[in-house]
Structure 1
Amino acid sequence: MQNKISLENIKDLRNKTGAGMTDCKKALEASGGDVDIAVEFLRKKGLATADKKSSRLAAEGLIESYIHAGSRLGVLLEINCETDFVARQPKFQQLAKDIAMQIAACQSVRYVSQADIPEHIVLYEQNLELQKEDLANKSDEIKAKIAKGRVEKRLKELSLVDQNFIKEQAVTVDELIKQHISLLGENIKVRRFQRFLLGEGIEAKNNSFVDEVSNMINTK
C-alpha cells in the first residue's frame, strides 16, 4: 500500500535535496513515499540532467580561498559557471567553499580530473608499479593486470573529482558538482586550484644551497 504523500513530506525532501517541489512530489510518488529511495531517484535524475549541460561554456564564477586553522595551510580555487547570476547564489558559493576545503583535506590531490594528469606522470606510475618486487615472479599478463589496477587507484588519488566528498562520503566530488548543475541549471567546472603549505620547499632549497657551496669549496 502506497504511503500518503503530504506537503510536509515534499518540503522535507526538498530541504534534503534542493530539488523543486514538483520533482520532489514525483519522486515520492515513484518511491511509494520512501524518502531514502526518493533521494536516490532525484540524485540519479540530477546526474543525468547534468551530463547534458556539461559541454556548455562556463566562463563566469568566482575565486574561492580556504585558510585552515593556524594559517599553515591554504587553498585558492577557481570555479566557473555560465552566468554572474548563478555565481552570486549562496548554493554556488557554498559549493566553492566545500570544494576548497576538500582540496585542503586531500593531500594527494594534484589535478582537477584524471584527464588533466600529464602523460609522463601516467607512464612514471606504470613503470614504477611494473618494477615492484612483489610482481617480479608473476607472468607478464598477471603483472600487467595488477599494475593496471594499482595505477588506476593512484590516478584516482591524484584527481579531485574522484574523491569522496568529505561531508558526505557516499557522494564523489564529481557527483556533488553534477547535483549543483541540476539544481542551479548551469554548467559548473572546477578550472584550477593551488594548495599552499607553510614552509613547503624551503628545506629542499636550503639543501641545494649547501650543495652549491660545497661544490665551490671542492673546486678551489
Structure 2
Amino acid sequence: MAQITAALVKDLRDRTGAGMMDAKKALVENDGDTEAAIDWLRAKGLSKAAKKSGRTAADGLVAAVRSDDGKTGALVELNAETDFVARNEKFQSALREIAAEALKTDGSLEALQNAPAPSGEGSVTDMITALVATVGENMTLRRTAKLSAPNGQVASYIHSAEAPDMGKIGVLVALEGADAEKLADAGRKVAMHVAATSPASATTDDLDPELVERERQVLTDQARESGKPDNVIEKMIEGRIKKFYKEVVLVEQPFVMNPDQTVGQFIEEQGATLVGFVRFTLGEGIEKDADDFAAEVASMTSKS
C-alpha cells in the first residue's frame, strides 16, 4: 500500500476543499492515487466545499455560551449565505458545539479554528468544511470572543433569537462583586442595554483616542463657525465632549431601564464593578456581493 504522507493529504485538500480526515480516508481508499481520490470525494459529495468558498457568507447566527459556574462566557459568529441555512438544525447544532469549544480556548479565532472537532475527527475548521459540503452553502467561522470574571459572573443576552442562545445580536457582560445571583441578573440587564445602544467602549479610558480626537476636531470646526472667541469655544467643546461620552461610553450612558441614572450608577448600586463587555452583530462590516446566492437562484429560476 502507498504511503499516505501529510504533503499528499494537503495537496488533496487544496484541490478539493475536503476536510483533513476525509482527504486522508480518500487516499487510503484509493491507495494514494490523488486523481482517484478526487473522484471518490466527488462521489461522496465532499469536494463541493472549495466551489462554495468564493461566495459571500454574510448571514448566519451569533451564539452565546457560559460555563457551568457562570464565570466565563464566549461569543461565536458563524456565517452562512442565507438565513434559510441559519435556521437549519445541522447549522445550529454545529454552532452550538463550536461555541462550547470556544469556552476551552484562549478566546482567539485561530485557537478555535484549530481546536479539535467535538466528533474527534479533525479540527473545527475541518468540521465546518464538511458541513459546507453537506449543506451546500459557503460558511465562515468569522470571529469569537471570551470574557472571564473569576470573582463574579459573566451574563449573556441574545437579541432576535432564532434558537436558544443564538440570534442576530449577542452580548456578554462581565461583572464582579459578592452576590453571584444578583450579579447574573444585573449583568443580563446591562447586556440588554448594550444590545440596544451599541456603546463604543466600557469606560472613557477605554475609548479609542483617535475616535475622540476626530470628534473633537469636528466639534471644533463647528464651534468656530459661530465666530465666538477661542476661550468660549474651548468651553463649548469640553461640554460637547462630555455629551459625546454619554452617547458612546457604556458607564456614562443613561440606563435604558431607568434613564434617570447612568449604567455606571446602576452597576455601582448593585455592589458590582464592570470587568468588560463584548457585542457581536451578525454580519457587521461584511459587504454582500450584489450577485449573492439568493440572486443566483432567482436568476436561474427566471431563465428556466
Quickly say closer, same or farther: Cα 1:149–1:177, change in 2 above 3 A. same
Question: Paired residue for 1:27?
Answer: none
| Residue 77 (structure 1) aligned with residue 167 (structure 2) | no
Question: Paired residue for 1:189?
Answer: 273
* 1:87-106 deviation per Cα after TM superposition (whole angstroms, max 9, x unaligned): 2x2x2211011010010111
Q: Whole-Å Cα distance in 2 between the matches of residues 65 and 104 of structure 1? A: 10
Aligned residue pairs: how many? 137
Give the TM-score normalised by the residue count of structure 1: 0.55
- Give identity over the alignment, percent: 31
Q: Whole-Å Cα distance in 1 between the matches of residues 194 and 253 of structure 2? A: 10
What is the identity, as a one-letter code, of the residue corresponding to 1:164? P
Question: Paired residue for 2:156?
Answer: 65
User: Contact 2:172–2:277 (CA<8 Å) still a contact in 1?
Assistant: yes
What is the identity, as a one-letter code, of the residue corresponding to 2:175? I
Question: Paired residue for 1:200?
Answer: 284
Q: Whole-Å Cα distance in 2 between the matches of residues 206 and 105 of structure 1? A: 28
Indicate the structure with greater helix content: 1
User: Contact 1:114–1:156 (CA<8 Å) still a contact in 2?
Assistant: no
Find the partner of 1:114 among 197, 204, 209. 204
* 1:116-137 deviation per Cα after TM superposition (whole angstroms, max 9, x unaligned): 2243333222122112276352
Find the partner of 2:260 among 151, 161, 170. 170
* 1:167-186 deviation per Cα after TM superposition (whole angstroms, max 9, x unaligned): 222222122112211xxxxx
User: Contact 2:153–2:183 (CA<8 Å) still a contact in 1?
Assistant: no
What is the identity, as a one-letter code, of the residue corresponding to 1:145? K
Indicate the structure with greater strand content: 2
Question: Paired residue for 1:11?
Answer: none
Question: Where do 1:153-168 residues align within 5 Å?
Answer: 153-168=243-258
Query: Runs ≥4 in structure 1, deviation > 4 angstroms?
Result: none
Q: Whole-Å Cα distance in 1 between the matches of residues 289 and 275 of structure 2? A: 33
Query: Mind listing any 5+ residue stretches in structure 2 that lack a counterpart?
Result: 1-148, 162-166, 291-304
Task: Answer with 1 or 2: which has the greater Rg.
Answer: 2
SS in 1 for 2:270: helix
CA-atom RMSD in angstroms? 2.4
